[in-house]
Amino acid sequence: MPVAIITGASKGLGRALAEALAARGWDLVLDARTGRALKEAAESVAAHGGTRVAALPGDVTDAGHRAELVAAARGLGGVDLLVSNASALGAEPLVRLAELPLEGLRRALEVNVTAALGLVQEALEPLRASAAGAVIAVSSDAAAEAYGTWGGYGASKAALDQLAAVLAVEEPGLRVWAVDPGDMATDLYAAAVPEDDDPRPAPATVVPAFLRLLDERPPSGRYAAPALVEGR
């Protein structure tokens, strides 16, 4: 069975994607900082029959934790897919750049960019060995558009997009997709803009976009999940 590592998998998009892959028979290594929430997610995912699930709570900025994630995947057979979904906002709620704590910006860059690259470096050998090795970097429209208060988070996601683009050039044997999932009803968005009570789509509604990438394996690049779901 193919094996995927998914960070930030205890809830939201990470959990929804894990559920979908498990339903397709994937074995999974799941990461999140909160052990209890991750355990609940792993139990739900494991209920999909023969799926093997390794749930490892920890912080992706910790090199030792990243090594444990890849070691667990090797124990399941290798790494066919790496999904960097764990994210930090930099400030909760979001604030204008004039007020953004520099320590918060450093945290966003460390989680969203540095840790993502560190995990790719750790997993690169088994990804290269896979017949269908792929990396998905979960991006944001804030990486490409200038939205007030989203500057720090958006800058970190723009950096992640560029890392994904360069990785695709340097590793032509892999598929490397940066994916903007669009607006979703997640805890991350609620923490970012708590006063926004407009209804947002559930994360599960964009999962078909990720599955389409895995099924059709288009060229490496940046993709918008809503367009993929609509067949564009």
From the list 11, 139, 132, 9, the residue with the least C-alpha distance to 72 is 9
Residue 212 banded pLDDT, cuts 50, 70, 90: very high
Which residue is listed with tokens 């290594």?
29
Residue 43 has pLDDT above 80, yes or no: yes
Token duo for residue 154: 């958006």
Q: What confidence tens digit (pLDDT) does each residue in 116-129 have? A: 999 999 999 999 99
231 Cβ contact partners less than 8 Å away, ≥ 6 residues apart: none
Amino acid residing at 172: P
Determine contact, residues 27/5, Cβ cutoff 8 Å: no
Q: What confidence tens digit (pLDDT) does each residue in 195-208 have? A: 998 889 999 999 99
From CA 154, how far away is CA 140, in angstroms rounded? 7
Range 81-109 average pLDDT: 98
Residue 144 has pLDDT above 90, yes or no: yes
According to the model, what pLDDT value does residue 11 have?
96
Residue 75 has pLDDT above 80, yes or no: yes
Residue 232 has pLDDT above 80, yes or no: no
According to the model, what pLDDT value does residue 97 have?
98
From the list 20, 5, 24, the residue with the least C-alpha distance to 75 is 5
From the list 107, 86, 188, the residue with the least C-alpha distance to 152 is 107
Average pLDDT of the residues of the chain: 96
Q: What confidence tens digit (pLDDT) does each residue in 149-202 have? A: 999 999 999 999 999 999 999 999 999 999 999 989 999 999 999 999 888 999
Range 8-31 average pLDDT: 97
Range 93-122 average pLDDT: 98
Amino acid residing at 166: V
According to the model, what pLDDT value does residue 95 have?
98
Catalytic site residue 223?
no
Range 37-47 average pLDDT: 95
**Which domains, from first to last, does the chain contain?**
3-222 (3.40.50.720)
According to the model, what pLDDT value does residue 197 have?
85
According to the model, what pLDDT value does residue 49 have?
78
Q: How far is CA 75 from CA 1, 3, 27, 132, in A?
A: 12, 10, 11, 18
Q: Which listed residue (147, 153, 189, 223) is catalytic? A: 153
